[in-house]
A and B are shown apart, each in its own frame.
Chain A
Amino acid sequence: MALLSAAGVCTSFVTDRGLVRAVDDVHIELDQGQVLGVVGESGSGKSVLVRSIMGLYRLDSRAIRRGSIWFDGTDIAALSARQLRDLWGPQIAIVFQDPMSALNPVMQIGRQITEMLRHHLGVSRSAAAARAVELLDSVGVPDPARRVREYPHQLSGGLRQRVAIAIALSCEPRLLIADEPTTALDVTIQAQILRLLRDLQERLHMAVILVSHDFGVVGSLADEVAVMYAGHIVERGRAEQVIDRPAHPYAGALIRSTPRLEVPPGERLPTIGGRPPNLLALGPGCPFEPRCDRRLPRCRDQRPELTAGAGGHLSACWNPIQDPQSAITSPDGAQ
């Protein structure tokens, strides 16, 4: 049985200017030990999606939620607030994008780890302290015994993110959600963190949902990839397939615009024309239609559903890309 099974997930927000459909009719399935990458630009709804899966919006009065989310055989919607909180930490853990703002600036790092252990696992103070040091060590923080007593501002960005990962892993969750874990970091540190995540995932056999706007980040870790646009999943399939043979024009354009070393210097970086979608005024048709260079008349009036394409994976497009060569300039998708 799948570890995570989410169907028809819709999350909308009531704002001054109207109803915003951040996530619209999304289906997700994940098995234990699988890594799912969710790719999309800012505003595509990927962050809202993963938070909805966790059930984080249960406590937010501004959010309107729909859909069923089953985690490990339990219906998330049926859980009480207390049961939900018991889920967060031991079962599902999340790593936020910016570790500097995610960590409590006036609390020692060790304490931020031990409070998880003590609350969820009932560990004694001394045992928790020892475990915190171990955890810091396992995520590659040098001199962990000293670091435990330090404050977040005393660490570099990369170290802070390692600490955030250590906190997330402290209760050995079945599912780890990493929401743009490397976006706020230098490129060199990015690689380190990704490698760390891969090691940990292999070792602990965790399911991971990795969110990013960068295909490169996702490509190195993910088994499956889902591409989001304006709150919808527009393409989904095995990572190699989506990256090598994208069917949806947006996915193709996104992959094309990823900077690569192989592209000769001086050549212009391809961009996606047009403007990001206005989530307040989405039409009845495909949300990508205004910017699509493959659009057909029917794209404006009717929204395409996810259907299996020639490449073997799912895409939501009336005019999907058939020829893989026209989509990318280099055959090598893996980083």
Chain B
Amino acid sequence: MARRRERKFGTLIWRRLVRMLITIVLVVTLTYLLLDLIPGNPAYSMLPQDQLTPANIAQVDHQLGLDKPFFARMGLWALHALQGNLGVSYQNSQPVASLIVSRLPVTLELMILAQLIGLVLALAIALVSVNQRRKVTSGFSTLFTVISLSLPNFILALVLVLIFAVKLHWFPATGFTPLSQSLSGNVSSMILPSLALGVGTAAVYAQVLSAELSKTLQQDFVQFAIAKGLPRRTVLLRHALRPSALPLVTLAGLNVGILLGGSFIIETIFALPGIGALAVNAIYSKDYLVVQGVVLFVTVSYVLINFAVDLLYSVVDPRVRRNAGAS
């Protein structure tokens, strides 16, 4: 019986893997197609007016690979992409791939901090809102969640800057201090940006966690734990929380996409040297290859992350294990 279960599990993974790979292939295709969307010849938008000579245009065409038939172009580009060659930035002649890699750590740090803030804040909110006794604080937490869900992150960012950077002078409004330089400087420059992203995240997580927690608290085993004379906190944290937190795992994976998108704006506002700011600046300067490279990198990463989360979830969920092994 156990072996059959494992075999089923194996085919499930295999099927998901194939699906994921197909998705990636299509993503690559679509991303490459972006270039074809540009009305007219991209060279015209990239080159300044006085440099629109046929020679320059031809050069840009060649750089973007536009002088070859479509499938050849795409195949070549995909091949290069696999090898880590995403072209060269038109602006500063640096390889796109190395630009991305050099700026990746900043975005990673931002996203990790935002996730952490989101999870911790959501936990606090969910625990507070479940405690019906303290009506005031639970009312506040509901209000907070409702407001945060409707507040766009860039508006929140501006408000945070106004209060904490301009009026209180606690943190810098823009700029980034790398970890290697100074830990406190790094934290100080990252607090406001990660809050701007993390608060919205927390609201989403808190909603789900509260709902799951309420559901779990109705179950018999929670009441048994209460009847055992255990204190409220123990019942909540040790008994009710663990099964309620499971859906958050998948949610956190899905949320990476939202955080990635959010990083584009937040990095721009706070002048953080991350991938998002890289892409936005490339958009301003019509550096199409860079934009393409970032979109490809970000999307493929997102697909891979979700695949990993899916796998993790089906392995970790005791209910799945339990159903397979129930007597």
Given A59-B226, A102-B221, A153-B326: A85 in contact with B234 (beta carbons within 8 A): no
Partner of B224 from the list A102, A106, A120 (CB cut-off 8 Å) is: A102
Check B229 against A88 for contact (C-beta < 8 Å): yes
Interface stretch (choices A93-101, A195-203, A224-232, A288-296): A93-101
Q: In the bound complex, how far is the Cα of B320 from the Cα of A105, in angstroms?
A: 12
Q: B54 near A: Cβ within 8 Å?
A: no
Q: Which chain B residue lies CB-closest to A51?
A: B227
Partner of A87 from the list B132, B226, B229 (CB cut-off 8 Å) is: B229
Scan residues 223-240 of chain B and give those whose CB is less than 8 A from a CB of chain A: 224-231, 234, 238-239
Q: In the bound complex, how far is the Cα of B240 from the Cα of A107, in angstroms?
A: 11
Partner of B227 from the list A54, A106, A120 (CB cut-off 8 Å) is: A54
Q: Which chain A residue lies CB-closest to B224?
A: A102
Given A153-B322, A154-B325, A154-B327: A119 in contact with B229 (beta carbons within 8 A): yes
Q: B243 near A: Cβ within 8 Å?
A: yes
Q: Which B residues touch A90, using CB under 8 A? A: 229
Q: In the bound complex, how far is the Cα of B225 from the Cα of A54, in angstroms?
A: 14
Check A96 against B220 for contact (C-beta < 8 Å): yes
Q: Which B residues touch A116, using CB under 8 A? A: 228-230
Check A107 against B228 for contact (C-beta < 8 Å): no
Q: Which B residues touch A61, using CB under 8 A? A: 132
The secondary structure that dominates the B interface is: helix
Q: In the bound complex, how far is the Cα of B327 from the Cα of A154, in angstroms?
A: 7
Query: How far is the CB of B327 from the nearest CB of chain A, in Å?
Result: 6
Q: In the bound complex, how far is the Cα of B18 from the Cα of A62, in angstroms?
A: 53
Q: Which chain B residue lies CB-closest to A177?
A: B227
Check B243 against A105 for contact (C-beta < 8 Å): yes
Q: Which chain B residue lies CB-closest to A98?
A: B220
Q: Which B residues touch A59, using CB under 8 A? A: 226
Check B327 against A156 for contact (C-beta < 8 Å): yes
- How many residues on B have C-beta within 8 angstroms of the other chain's C-beta atoms? 22
Q: A209 near B: Cβ within 8 Å?
A: no
Q: In the bound complex, how far is the Cα of B225 from the Cα of A119, in angstroms?
A: 12
Given A96-B220, A101-B221, A104-B239: A120 in contact with B132 (beta carbons within 8 A): no
Q: In the bound complex, how far is the Cα of B229 from the Cα of A116, in angstroms?
A: 8
Q: Which chain B residue lies CB-closest to A116?
A: B228
Q: In the bound complex, how far is the Cα of B239 from the Cα of A156, in angstroms?
A: 22
Q: Which A residues touch B242, using CB under 8 A? A: 106
Q: Which A residues touch B228, using CB under 8 A? A: 88-89, 93, 115-116, 167
Q: A86 near B: Cβ within 8 Å?
A: yes
Q: In the bound complex, how far is the Cα of B133 from the Cα of A61, in angstroms?
A: 10
Q: A308 near B: Cβ within 8 Å?
A: no
Q: In the bound complex, how far is the Cα of B234 from the Cα of A56, in angstroms?
A: 17
Q: A103 near B: Cβ within 8 Å?
A: yes
Query: How far is the CB of B255 from the nearest CB of chain A, in Å?
Result: 24
Q: Which B residues touch A94, using CB under 8 A? A: 227
Check A107 against B229 for contact (C-beta < 8 Å): no
Check A85 against B220 for contact (C-beta < 8 Å): no
Q: Which B residues touch A101, using CB under 8 A? A: 219-221
Query: How far is the CB of B265 from the nearest CB of chain A, in Å?
Result: 39
Q: B139 near A: Cβ within 8 Å?
A: no
Scan residues 160-208 of chain A and give those whose CB is less than 8 A from a CB of chain B: 164, 167
Q: Which among B227, B230, B325 has the highest number of chain A CB atoms within 10 Å? A: B227
Q: Which A residues touch B219, using CB under 8 A? A: 101
Q: In the bound complex, how far is the Cα of B327 from the Cα of A82, in angstroms?
A: 39
Per-residue CB proximity of B198-234 to A under 8 Å, as 1/0?
0000000000000000000001110011111111001
Given A102-B221, A107-B239: A115 in contact with B318 (beta carbons within 8 A): no
Given A153-B322, A154-B325: A120 in contact with B220 (beta carbons within 8 A): no
Give 13 A-B contacts (CB < 8 Å), ordered by A residue.
A61-B132, A85-B229, A88-B228, A96-B224, A101-B219, A104-B221, A106-B318, A107-B239, A115-B234, A116-B229, A116-B230, A151-B318, A153-B326
Nearest 4 CB-CB pairs, A to B? A88-B229, A89-B229, A101-B220, A102-B224
15 additional contacts, CB 8 Å, given A93-B228, A115-B234? A54-B227, A61-B132, A85-B230, A89-B229, A96-B224, A101-B220, A101-B221, A104-B224, A106-B243, A116-B229, A120-B229, A151-B318, A154-B325, A164-B224, A167-B228
> Which residues of B are at the interface with A, using a C-beta cutoff of 8 A?
132, 219-221, 224-231, 234, 238-239, 242-243, 318, 322, 325-327
